[in-house]
Chains A and B, each alone.
Chain A
Amino acid sequence: MSLDTVAKAVANPDTPQPFAELGLKSDEYASIKEILGRRPTSSELAMYSVMWSEHCSYKSSKVHLKQFGDKAVKTDALLVGIGENAGVVDVGQGYAVTFKIESHNHPSYIEPYQGAATGVGGIVRDILTMGARPIAVMDPLRFGPADAPDTRRVLPGVIAGVGGYGNCLGLPNIGGEVVFDETYLGNPLVNALCIGVMKHSDIKLAKAAGAGNLVVLYGAKTGGDGIGGVSVLASETFESKGPAKRPAVQVGDPFVEKVLIECSLEIFAEDLVVGIQDLGGAGLSCATSELASGGSGGMKVQLEKVPLRDPSLSPEEILMSESQERMCAIVEPSKIDRFLEICKKWDVTSTVIGEVTDGTHLEITFNGELIVDVPPRTVAHDGPVYKRPLAQPAYIDLVAKEIINPPLPKTAQEIRETMLKVAATPNLADKSWVTDQYDRYVQGNTIQSQPDDSGMVRIDEVTHLGVAVATDANANWSYLNPYEGAKLALAEAARNIATAGAKPLAVTNCLNFGSPEDPGVMWQFAETVRGLADGCLEMGLPVTGGNVSFYNQTGSIAILPTPVIGVLGVIDDVRTRTPMSFKDAGLELYLLGETDDNLSGSEWAYIHGLRGGIAPIADLQREMRLIELLVAGNKSALFTAAHDLSQGGLAITLIEMVLRHRVGANVNLANPGIDLLSETPGRVVVAVESSKASELQALAAKHDIALAKLGTTGGDALVINDSSISLAELHTAHTETFKKLFG
């Protein structure tokens, strides 16, 4: 095929171009022509098509997402906000922490192992790009019904991929979620979160400043994998017909990434780069256009210098390839020798492919012929923006009328059966089958990991400063009321940080939805963003970044609206954290927070096939008082243990507490059905020494949080009123589910 150059584009303005096949609409194609004053070359078309895809341009979500900026609280803690590869927050003592969550949903359905693996790889490079050492990962995952045949194909592959990549990078996996629901059957959600740490002075940005500085591509060679990953895969609905999309899934090599991390950190430590960008979605198209538009705009790249795994790749393919484990750095000429020397030490391929100019265009040549000549902002930032139609879907009013009255246990035998059912149901069962495939110990700083409420890592071995992160979503509530659902997920994630004694500091999010072309889905999305922005403003937490994943839809079946909210918190001394459970008998157990009849959207309702009802209304003022109470109680060493209540209510919280160290409890409940199974938000079980009961009462009164005594710890059974279940029996029910399902 002959090379399509800028000269040819000018000479042959009417050559037909495959814009539709590349995912561009005809009006989008028209505006590219208008920007350039001519038709794009095939290479330019390739770049615009990937960069203007939904995945890269946020064209459907942008108009909503700007609320995160508009409603943001003023905070000194935010060092780098939305727009860079990841947000950065100040955690004190000169440390800055960066964290972000991203989706890799579509590739993980097509090819579970590689899809999940490269999801981890991509988010880790985003964190590294900020100048940080990655210190931990988390993976919120959602699948179709646990017993569905396709879940048995997807889930083991995803788990092995998350583990295979993260373990080989030496990153502890400190938490996440595994949730099953039939709407995820054709659209599993694989979200990956990474946390990194650096000193304030080490923050790096994606900008190509300084004419004459060199553009260096380093890491893996470029191959034909992942071409069109963002435009073809992540921005379209799956249809049952059509060609296999396997070639659009990237293939990862964690060993190359591990070496790339160490090599990059050594380069950063010697201050050898002016700007840096990783190559993820949209590959070189994204990296060059974002770096150039981060600077003054001028950059020249000689594309034939890009090292290739497959020499037959065309320039268009080189620009679109999403081959993994690559980075692009801007380096001053005086520092290039040292830069290349460090790459050589780590056996990392590095090549100067161009330079920064004082012009305003990104110019790419291939063997001397000009094939791209564009203002880089038009590629990277000035993509189309859609105000898509939205309308409250009809189901909202219909389900609100449903009466949610699943059978509630009353007798001793019914309580016993209920507890065993809750312990074993896939959404609440022990997840060790999953998390035992992840390394949680590497780096030697893990303080908390699954099944704790949050993951916690130490970031300074001398001062014991640490950070905690939790991710949460309650899609059942978001389905009933996406505005409240987002607020409730935010509150839950913040509470999960606070139970350990950490103070919530910042928020990231991964918003997983169906097709934005469906007005109902778009309404769910808009309501979610509005709820999250309002919630963050009320709680005083900045949103540092996030990710939107649309088109999680097979045919007309969209997934439940699933906003996964990540909250980062800081704890001054990890040694003093409040653990989630107790090791001793004779402690008193209390419930903080009131219990109402909130069975709508509960796990108990879901078990009984009931989806409807009315979601709880978030009371964020009360949530904030509860968080303050938890942090204050931790500071004064009041709590022996604290554990959040969420999906599964008090029932699963008690089960998890007694099974953790195999110490039982004796609990009295006036209204066992609602007390055990309602999912009223804003509740926590705490264990205290009996001598501290009055201190707890005073603290609860001070923060205006309801307090009720549940019982005492001890024994080898969980006793609820007159119903006794041995820990051995409970343990079997809780741990057998995954082994039976997945072997």
Chain B
Amino acid sequence: MKIGVVTFPGTLDDRDAARAVRFAGGEAVELWHDDAELKGVDAVILPGGFSYGDYLRCGAISRFSPIMEPLIAAAQGGMPLLGICNGFQVLAEAHLIPGALTRNQHLHFLCTDQPIRIENNNTAWTKSFSKDQEIVIPLKNGEGSYQCDDETLKMLEGEGRIIARYVGENPNGSRNLIAGITNERGNIVGLMPHPEHAIDSLTGPSADGLGFFTSVLTSLVSGGVK
């Protein structure tokens, strides 16, 4: 199974995401923001970082990169797509998922070992987890506060599209403690914390993050997403 990892200028966690894919047993394929096609990959990860230096708004420029055109089309056709941190911001800017990520309420960059609860284990990226499983993975960002209007929040809650919530104190002011959400179909996931930094307890706070990557490989083997 080939999982593409996109590098934009300013992307930082691309090699970490590729390592996580390999740890999970997949083949990582480098995708460059200027590429016009997806090199036959089965799923794509938009990794964390500061693409285009967060100029204008986080993700606002990357969203117009050449690779986004085939990527958006493929994701709308059901291909699994995971946006982590800055990748989540790109997904929001591309309107693949609702809402926006804003400056942390306390106005600081925050890097912490964050407990989260997996509330929807039916997406392409969360199948390996059990429902309500609590895991600890790094959270590290300056603009990770998830915001949306009341109607959207009601819809996300009603449709079970909040895939993960922060446990304990709200680390950044996100509405309803939202750490990650999915689209209607469950193939696109935006996640603020970083599972790719928690694939091995030697270098991360746990190996809990690996589940996101094994999930997508399992989803692909079992014949794609619903």
Residues of A within 8 A of B (CB): 160, 163-164, 167-170, 253-256, 258-259, 345-347, 435-447, 458, 461, 574-575
Contact = CB atoms under 8 A, between A and B. Distances in A.
25 contacts: A160-B108, A163-B109, A169-B12, A170-B49, A254-B50, A255-B9, A255-B50, A255-B52, A258-B9, A258-B10, A258-B12, A259-B9, A259-B10, A345-B34, A347-B9, A436-B108, A437-B108, A437-B109, A437-B110, A440-B111, A441-B138, A441-B140, A442-B140, A443-B16, A574-B202
A239 to B, nearest CB: 34
B202 A437 contact: no
A218 B73 CA distance: 37
Given A167-B109, A436-B111, A444 B19 contact: yes
B25 interface: no
Contact of A444 (B16, B50, B108, B111): B16
Contacts of B194: 441
A176 to B, nearest CB: 14
A61 B142 CA distance: 41
B64 interface: no
A445 B204 CA distance: 9
B202 A447 contact: yes
A66 B2 CA distance: 56
A254 B53 contact: yes
B197 interface: yes
Contacts of A461: 19
A444 B197 contact: yes
Interface string B29-70: 000001000000000000001101111000000000000000
B93 interface: no
B119 interface: no
A442 B203 contact: no
A443 B19 CA distance: 10
A438 B53 CA distance: 17
Contact of A253 (B15, B53, B202, B204): B53
A443 B15 contact: yes
B36 to A, nearest CB: 15
B13 interface: yes
B130 interface: no
A258 B110 contact: no
A163 B111 CA distance: 10
Nearest to B110: A436
A575 B140 contact: no
A336 to B, nearest CB: 22
Contacts of A259: 9-10
Nearest to A743: B106
B49 to A, nearest CB: 7
Given A259-B10, A442-B197, A443-B16, 19 more contacts: A167-B109, A168-B12, A168-B50, A169-B12, A255-B9, A255-B55, A258-B53, A259-B9, A345-B34, A439-B140, A441-B111, A441-B194, A442-B140, A443-B15, A444-B19, A447-B202, A458-B202, A461-B19, A574-B202
A447 B202 CA distance: 6
B208 interface: no
Contacts of A441: 111, 138, 140, 194, 197, 203-204
Interface residues of B, number: 29
A447 B203 contact: yes
Contacts of A458: 202-203
A436 B16 contact: no
Contact of B112 (A169, A254, A436): A436
A444 B203 contact: yes
Nearest to A263: B9
Contact of A170 (B13, B53, B197, B204): B13
Nearest to A159: B108
Given A258-B10, A441-B194, A168 B110 contact: no
> Interface residues of A: mostly helix, strand, loop or mixed?
mixed
Contacts of B15: 443-444
Contacts of A446: 203
A274 B18 CA distance: 33
A296 B18 CA distance: 45
Contacts of B110: 436-437
Nearest to B32: A345
A153 to B, nearest CB: 16
Contacts of A253: 53
Nearest to A253: B53
A347 B9 CA distance: 9
A346 B33 CA distance: 11
A442 B12 contact: yes
Contacts of A442: 12-13, 16, 140, 197
B10 A168 contact: yes
Q: Which 3 pairs across A and B sit closest by C-beta, in order of nearness?
A: A255-B53, A170-B12, A441-B197
A438 B112 CA distance: 10
A444 B12 contact: no
Interface string B137-180: 01010100000000000000000000000000000000000000
A79 to B, nearest CB: 26
Contacts of B13: 170, 442
Nearest to A345: B34
Nearest to B7: A262
Nearest to A438: B111
Interface in B1-25: 9-10, 12-13, 15-16, 19
B193 to A, nearest CB: 11
B203 A437 contact: no
Q: Which of A345, A441, A458, A575 has the most CB of B within 10 A?
A: A441
A437 B111 contact: yes
Contacts of B140: 167, 439, 441-442
Contacts of A255: 9-10, 50, 52-55
Contacts of B142: 167
A304 B13 CA distance: 39
A444 B201 CA distance: 11
Contacts of A447: 202-203
Contacts of A438: 109, 111
A231 to B, nearest CB: 30
Contacts of A160: 108-109
B109 A164 contact: yes
Nearest to B20: A444
B112 to A, nearest CB: 6
Contacts of A445: 203
Nearest to B51: A255
A47 to B, nearest CB: 32
A346 B53 CA distance: 14
A163 B108 CA distance: 10
A160 B138 CA distance: 19
A496 to B, nearest CB: 20
A445 B108 CA distance: 24
Nearest to A440: B111
A12 B11 CA distance: 55
A574 B203 CA distance: 10
Interface in B187-219: 194, 196-197, 199, 202-204
Contacts of B196: 444
Nearest to A446: B203
A440 B13 CA distance: 12
A232 to B, nearest CB: 29
A435 B111 CA distance: 8
A445 B50 CA distance: 19
A304 B50 CA distance: 33
A574 B200 CA distance: 13
A461 B199 CA distance: 13
Interface string B112-142: 1000000000000000000000000010101
A169 B10 CA distance: 8
Contacts of B50: 167-168, 254-255, 258
